[in-house]
Structure 1
Amino acid sequence: MKSLKSLSLGRNLFSGSIPYGFGNISGLETLNLSGNNFSGKVPEDIMQLSNLTTLNLSNNKFSGEIPVGLGDLLSLVVLNLSSCGFAGAIPGSIGNMMKLTSLDFSKQQISGELPIELFGLPSLQVVAFQENRLSGDVPEGFTNLVDLQYLNLSSNGFTGRIPSSYGLLQSLVVLSVSFNRVSGMVPLELGNCSDLEVLQLRSNRLSGNIPGDLSRLSHLKELDLGLNHLDGEIPDEISRFSSITTLFLDGNHLSGNIPELLSKLSNLTALNLSSNNLSGSIPSSLSNMISLKHLNLSRNYLEGEIPSALGSRFDDPSVFSMNRELCGKPLKKECANVRNRKRRKLILLIVIAAGGAFFVAVFCCGYIYGLLRWRKRLREWGNGEKKRSPTSASSVADRDRGGGENGGPKLVMFNNKITLAETLEATRQFDEENVMSRGRYGLVFKATYQDGTVLSIRRLVDGSIDECTFRKEAELLGKVKHRNITVLRGYYAGPPDLRLLVYDYMPNGNLGTLLQEANHQDGHMLNWPMRHLIALGIARGLAILHSLSIVHGDIKPQNVLFDADFEAHLSEFGLEKLTIDTPAEASSSSTPVGSLGYMAPEASLTGQPSKEADVYSFGIVVLEILTGRKPVMFTQDEDIVKWVKKQLQKGQISELLEPGLVELDPESSEWEEFLLGVKVGLLCTATDPFDRPSMADIVFMLEGCRVGPKIPSSADPTSLPSPI
């Protein structure tokens, strides 16, 4: 077909090597073989297509190095080799393609330094090298490419400093050097890039102040300087970013107050200032930012009362957590001025009540005294004194210490009254047939009452703590409420060592069973949106526990329960204070600090649970949700984390997919969302506990994985109705 000019075979299921013969189509100008399973090497005859202007081989499974012969395609304008599986260095012959405007070598295993020949391509506008293994200093040679609009060097091993000469790139729209080892200061010359819309320098070793000169970037929409070593105050000039929608400055050493002028950023939708050294009060003007959807001010030294409008709008405590001197809604920490105001009101009320009681007592005493004097005078006026008839003082002793009321302990319900007798009948005297699960803290029974109410009753093992302490701990545990945790509805404490906890009944079982059923049905019952919501629900539940300084200690699929709407509820938390000994019925794979396959390495060594260990266990659960593979399926030499990393390094992304997700389109947003979910799981399972993100940050990341209506992240008693 000598006259054929365009051939597109992309997004099919072709496999094997690319056949020879394409070189015979001498008139070919566009060749698209992307999104297949081609392997092996690229045929050399493709390098003979002298008229070729566009070559797209992305998302395949080639091997070896990038073909040197690509340099013979002198007419090439667009070259896309993203996610191809190539390794090794970039050939210098790439510098022969003088007409090239777009070059995409992203998401491969390319290593070494960038060839200097690359910087002699005068027409280059798009350069994408993210997610490779490139090294060396950040190249200054890109300054020669005066038409450059997109430069992405993120997720590599670049070092050195960001060249100040990048400020000469007047056409630059996107600059991303995130997730490298770049040091030095943020060049103030970047303020000269007048067309810049996205500046991403996250997770490097940048230091110094945030340059106020960046405020000259009038078109900037996203600025991400998070996870660096920046210090000083947030400059007031930052308020001049009139177009900005995303501002991430988290994980630095910034100090001083949050600038009032931030409220001028009318288009801002996401603001993250967490994990810094910011102090002072939260400006009330932040409440006026109507476009703001995501906010994180946690892990600072902020103080004072949270502005009421801001606290009502962002009612998740994790947004403001880890600020010791911060108070007000939604932290459930009352401010000192509010306490003093209430105390003054209480004192005034007591004084008024005491004064009123005093005057009533004086009036009553005066009335009785006057009455007695009047009666005495009547008697004196009489003609003969009559003897007083003795008054009959009837004394009634009506103290029934056991007849009228049961003196023993009662079943305490927070929202309704259910007796112990009804509970015994509902569980058939705790019959074995009504056991729903067995765990470290005893048996869980299904209780079906005569009025149709169904509850879950946990019977703790013998050897529990004393009755008084148990009641105190149960009352505290009953105050922990969130839509993604199992809320304690009531309790019972009575002899002989009978301890009961009452929860809502979860009719749809646990996550472990659901994943097992999904595997048997090729995963079709668990599509990507549902898996994402499950992971997000677990993250929100665990985040609220951590914000209350509650460590779970045993995150695993069996401890994630589902209600009638298949919403995830985290269970089995806060029970260690209600028992003394670990029961014999507990699973042999379970320890005081986790379960086999889900336990953090440091927890297995120290035997101590921690928030960081919870984050690790959550990461394992996320990887299991996304891949469908249980941690116990792997050997001691290769766990699920190593297996996932190996597939990513090989570029075999489809190997990660559970059968029900294999239909995800590699070109779709859901594919990118899935990969983001995998990366969240890997971040959570970092070897060093201090490298793992907090659960609040994980919730923020998972919420950003998927675009859709925001689901409320917390609940008060009014939005958490009890079924009884």
Structure 2
Amino acid sequence: MLDVSGNSLSGEVPVQIGNLSKLQQLKMANNSFYGMVPIEIKQCSSLNVLDLEGNRFSGEIPGFLSAMTGLKVLSLGGNLFSGSIPSSVRNLTQLETLNLGHNNLNGTLPEEIMGLSNLSTLDLSGNKFSGEIPASIGNLSQVVVLNLSNNGFSGKIPASLGALFKLTTLDLSKQNLSGELPFELSGLPNLQVIALQENILSGDVPEGLSSLMSLRYVNLSSNLFSGHIPETFSFLHSLAVLSLSNNRITGMIPPELGNCTELEVLELGSNSLTGHIPADLSGLLRLNVLDLGGNNLTGEIPEEISKCSSLTSLLLNGNRLSGSIPDSLSELSNLTMVDLSYNSLSGNIPANLSLIPGLVYFNVSSNDLTGEIPVSLGSRFNNPSTFAGNQDLCGKPLDRKCEDVAVKNRRKRLILLIVAVSCAASLVSLCCCFYVFSLLRWRKKLKEAAGEKKPSPARASSGASGGRSSTDSVGLKLVMFNNKITLAETIEATRQFAEENVLSRSRYGLVFKACYNDGMVLSIRRLPDGSLDENMFRKEAEFLGKVKHRNLTVLRGYYAGPPDLRLLVYDYMPNGNLATLLQEASHQDGHVLNWPMRHLIALGIARGLAFLHASNMVHGDTKPQNVLFDADFEAHLSDFGLDRLTTPAAPEASTSAPVGTLGYVSPEAVLTGETTKESDVYSFGIVLLELLSGKRPVTFSEDEDIVKWVKKQLQRGQIVELLEPGLLELDPESSEWEEFLLGIKVGLLCTAPDPLDRPTMADIVFMLEGCRVGADIPSSADPTSQHSPA
């Protein structure tokens, strides 16, 4: 056995490896070897384990490996192999483990693999395979682990999988699989993990899964499942993760789920669930994540939820919850995230929530909360957007003094009293008028009966009413700069602005996905009430529509009409935002974002900001959530220029608007309440450091931020600590290592304490373009291959 795994070895594998004629196991995983696999390895005729995973081997999978018929383990995952799987793989009849995951392999799944009757582990994840999963996969009767995730497989899941009785792990996530889940899967007695997220599977939530008593992980999120959550899921006493978010599930949350005492993650967000949050969930003492956001849940937040002592994330946003925030939430000492935004919660914010030591995210915006924000909580989350949308909430960080709110409330009560008296008086007057009108009609009928003639005013009144109706028929239209789309079509495309079509939420309103009948997909931003009047809005929207650049989200149209309806039309960005992409990358050990991709993203953001600054515009809130990706994963900066469309152009209005986002806003912008080009540069620097290191700015303590942390690692010479998991394979001797360090230095320049010491965005674009010593990746997604339109 020769095992050199997990080192920093590089270069090509020496051809003399073939001299080890009695070698049985060769393990060279997780190094930096590159080039071709030497053909001399086949001289090791006794080899039964060949593990080359996690290197940089390239080319096609060597055909000579099929001659090594004694192989039981062949692990080539995490390399740069391309092409298809050779049909000669059928010769490896003794193979028990085949790992080809995370390469650039393509084509269909070869039937030859289905003849490897001894195979127990098959991992083809993270490639570019396409076509349907063949029904003959049921021939792999010895398979225990089957991972085909993150490819391009389509069609239905074959029912023949139900013949794999030894199967413990089934991962078919992130594909284009459709149809219903085959019932045969419910007959696999040893199944522990079933991951089918991010497909287009449909039908009812499969109740048959309740019979799989060994299940520990079930992820059906981001599909088209409908129906109710089966109550029989309560039989799954070993279940640790249940994720059904982003589907079309209706009905109530079964209280019986409280019997799944091993449950650690319960994600039911972004569905259409109704009813109350069951108090029975308090029995889930191991629960870490509870995500019920984006539903139609009503009632109060149950006090019993505080018994879930292990809870770290409580996400109840986007529902219709009422009542007060329970004081008992402070007993959840492990909480790091609390999102109660977009509900109808009332009462005061409990002051003891500030006692939760690890809380790093807190959002109670868009509720009906009242009173003063607890001082310790307001200073800890010094971002107005965290508490915005609560009319009777006062204190820091809101620019609303509690004395003013008290006066306002007294004035409001007086106005309500006056309105009530006026309404009562109006009602009495109406009754009197109705009585007089009835009396006159009765008198008229008596006169007509007596033969009196009355001239008819029909002709005169018809002329007047005709002019009025023609004026009313002139309605405001959806103004599109290129396409012709009506307002009615847009409302229909968003399903009447349905909650299920919401893409994102911000202080600038909701963004909806609009799917038109002709197949076109757009993004529609519905601005909050209280925006500019129609004439000013049209003027600002026309100006914003002229701001065009390939790295900006371009305004395609707008609508302004009564009653206070303001819409903005943008291109739809199908690949989400940078915050989500970075989160996915961290969950997949960095296989999503390599250095060239991160560099192109940073360069795209910089080019977009530079264009805004050249146009004498300031963004004001640069952050990963505002970096969107089109179908080619090209970065587009969004949410710029919206202050001009949502706030009146008055001096006092500018001081009350929130500035930036916590963690990304510059220190001077927090103090002055104004955003400048220099504060944009600072925000970009924070985003760049997060993009390169994978560290979120909000995860640091009050005494340390991401800038101080990066400087500390550089001073200690601990460069590897700066590397995000996807960049750990960078060779310290390579040009990419130098490019990465240059990127870090650009981020530090951007975040200089003195705004005058920061470079301009034009200078940053120049520096980032010079960051790539080698040529950029030539592809359709490469923004450097085309000129930026002005």
Distance 1:59 1:661, change over 3 A: farther
Distance 1:601 1:164, change over 3 A: farther
- State whether structure 2 residue 198 is matched by structure 1 residue 243: no
Of residues 186, 203, 213 in structure 1, which corresponds to 2:253?
186
**Contact 2:628/2:637 (8 A) holds in 1:** no
**Contact 1:151/1:176 (8 A) holds in 2:** yes
Of residues 170, 184, 187 in structure 2, which corresponds to 1:117?
184
Distance 1:300 1:52 in 2: 56
Superposition map of 1:444-455 within 5 A: none
**Contact 1:620/1:685 (8 A) holds in 2:** no
- State whether structure 2 residue 32 is matched by structure 1 residue 44: no
Of residues 57, 65, 68 in structure 1, which corresponds to 2:124?
57
**Paired residue for 2:543?**
591
How far does residue 582 in structure 1 lie from its aligned partner after superposition?
12
Distance 1:151 1:204, change over 3 A: same
Q: Partner amino acid for 2:126?
A: N
- State whether structure 2 residue 176 is matched by structure 1 residue 93: no
Of residues 157, 176, 186 in structure 1, which corresponds to 2:224?
157
Give CA deviations for 1:677-719 in whole Å, capped at 9, x if unaligned.
6499999999xx9xxxxx99x9699999953443789xxxxx9
**Contact 1:599/1:617 (8 A) holds in 2:** yes
Q: Partner amino acid for 1:73?
A: L
Deviates more, 1:282-291 or 1:204-213: 282-291
How far does residue 83 in structure 1 lie from its aligned partner after superposition?
1.1
Q: Partner amino acid for 1:32?
A: N
- State whether structure 2 residue 331 is matched by structure 1 residue 264: yes
Distance 2:269 2:331 in 1: 24
Of residues 356, 361, 372 in structure 2, which corresponds to 1:294?
361
Superposition map of 1:562-573 within 5 A: none
Distance 1:134 1:257 in 2: 38
Distance 1:37 1:625, change over 3 A: same
Distance 1:683 1:609, change over 3 A: farther
Distance 1:338 1:65, change over 3 A: closer
Distance 1:26 1:85 in 2: 27
- State whether structure 2 residue 237 is matched by structure 1 residue 170: yes
Superposition map of 1:552-701 within 5 A: 591-592=543-544, 595-596=547-548, 598-603=553-558, 613=568, 658=597, 660=599, 678=629
**Paired residue for 2:78?**
11
The count of residues paired between Structure 1 and Structure 2 equals 444
How far does residue 296 in structure 1 lie from its aligned partner after superposition?
0.2
**Paired residue for 2:94?**
27
Coordinate RMSD, CA, aligned: 4.7
Q: Partner amino acid for 2:326?
A: P
How far does residue 270 in structure 1 lie from its aligned partner after superposition?
0.3
Distance 1:310 1:218 in 2: 27
**Paired residue for 1:132?**
199
How far does residue 67 in structure 1 lie from its aligned partner after superposition?
1.4
- Residue 229 of structure 1: SS of its match in structure 2? coil
How far does residue 596 in structure 1 lie from its aligned partner after superposition?
3.7
Of residues 296, 303, 306 in structure 2, which corresponds to 1:229?
296
How far does residue 125 in structure 1 lie from its aligned partner after superposition?
0.1
Of residues 320, 326, 338 in structure 1, which corresponds to 2:387?
320
Give CA deviations for 1:259-294 in whole Å, capped at 9, x if unaligned.
111110110000000000000111111111111110
- State whether structure 2 residue 278 is matched by structure 1 residue 211: yes
How far does residue 3 in structure 1 lie from its aligned partner after superposition?
1.9
Superposition map of 1:299-698 within 5 A: 299-336=366-403, 591-592=543-544, 595-596=547-548, 598-603=553-558, 613=568, 658=597, 660=599, 678=629
**Paired residue for 2:695?**
707
Q: Which has the larger radius of gyration?
A: 1
Distance 1:581 1:198 in 2: 45
Distance 1:261 1:602, change over 3 A: farther
* Runs of 5+ unmatched residues, structure 1: 341-541, 548-575, 628-651, 664-672, 690-694, 714-718
**Paired residue for 2:464?**
none
| TM-score, length-scaled by structure 1 | 0.54
Q: Partner amino acid for 2:345?
A: L
Distance 2:333 2:182 in 1: 43
Q: Partner amino acid for 1:195?
A: E
Q: Partner amino acid for 1:227?
A: G
Distance 1:251 1:284 in 2: 23
How far does residue 592 in structure 1 lie from its aligned partner after superposition?
4.9
Distance 1:54 1:179, change over 3 A: same
Q: Partner amino acid for 1:595?
A: V
Q: Partner amino acid for 2:395?
A: G
How far does residue 590 in structure 1 lie from its aligned partner after superposition?
6.9
Q: Partner amino acid for 2:174?
A: K
* Runs of 5+ unmatched residues, structure 2: 1-67, 408-504, 510-531, 582-590, 603-623, 643-656, 665-686, 706-751, 758-790
**Contact 1:593/1:607 (8 A) holds in 2:** no
- Residue 345 of structure 2: SS of its match in structure 1? strand
- Residue 86 of structure 1: SS of its match in structure 2? strand
How far does residue 720 in structure 1 lie from its aligned partner after superposition?
8.6
Give CA deviations for 1:452-499 in whole Å, capped at 9, x if unaligned.
xxxxxxxxxxxxxxxxxxxxxxxxxxxxxxxxxxxxxxxxxxxxxxxx
**Contact 2:383/2:662 (8 A) holds in 1:** no
**Contact 1:603/1:609 (8 A) holds in 2:** no
- Residue 310 of structure 1: SS of its match in structure 2? helix
**Paired residue for 1:273?**
340
**Contact 2:156/2:177 (8 A) holds in 1:** yes
Distance 2:592 2:280 in 1: 41
How far does residue 600 in structure 1 lie from its aligned partner after superposition?
3.8
Higher RCO structure, 1 or 2 (CA under 8 Å, sep 6+): 1
Q: Partner amino acid for 2:558?
A: A
Distance 1:56 1:220, change over 3 A: same
How far does residue 230 in structure 1 lie from its aligned partner after superposition?
0.1
Quote the sequence identity (%): 47
Give CA deviations for 1:54-104 in whole Å, capped at 9, x if unaligned.
000111111210011110000000000001210000111111110000000
How far does residue 169 in structure 1 lie from its aligned partner after superposition?
0.1
- Residue 86 of structure 2: SS of its match in structure 1? coil
Distance 1:156 1:620 in 2: 15
- Residue 253 of structure 1: SS of its match in structure 2? coil
Q: Partner amino acid for 1:231?
A: T
**Contact 2:627/2:635 (8 A) holds in 1:** no
How far does residue 16 in structure 1 lie from its aligned partner after superposition?
1.8
